[in-house]
Amino acid sequence: MTAANVCRLASELADRAERILPDEIDMAVRITGRAWVKCAGAASEDRTPTCDIEIIMHSRANPEVGAVVRRITDLSHYEVMVRGLRHLLQRKIERRAA
C-alpha cells in the first residue's frame, strides 16, 4: 500500500467518523510534509517518496482525555494505524447501537 493510498483511506475514515458519530468523535488527518527516504540497498540517487501523516482523534465525550496523536512514517505502521482506527470506530458504532 502506498503512502497516498493510506492518506486517502485515513481521510475517508475521518470523514466517516464525523458523519456517523458527530457528537462523539473529532478526527482530522493531516499530511504534515513530504520526505524522501532512501530505498534499502539502492544507489544513492534512487529515492522513494513518502509522506508524514498525522492522525488526530479527540473524544468529545471524554474531553479530559485530550487528543490522541499519531505521526507515523513507516508504511506498515500506516496500515496498522488505519486498521486500528477502523476497529475503534466500529466498536463505537456497535456500543452506540446496543
Q: What is the pTM of this model?
A: 0.37
The per-residue pLDDT for 90 is 72
The per-residue pLDDT for 95 is 75
**Range 55-70 burial, b when 16+ CB lie within 10 A, else e:** bebebeeeeeeeeeeb
H or E segment to which residue 79 belongs: helix 75-97
Tell the burial category of 18 from Cβ atoms under 10 Å away from its Cβ (0-12, 13-18, 19+): middle
pLDDT tens-digit map of 39-61: 344 444 444 444 455 555 555 56
Backbone φ, ψ for residue 92 (5° rounding):
-65, -40
The per-residue pLDDT for 14 is 64
pLDDT under 70: residue ranges of the chain: 1-11, 13-86, 88-89, 93
Cell 485530550 belongs to residue: 66
**Nearest residue to 11 (alpha-carbon basis) of 32, 33, 35, 27:** 27
For residue 88, the tally of other CB atoms under 10 A from its CB is: 15
The per-residue pLDDT for 98 is 72
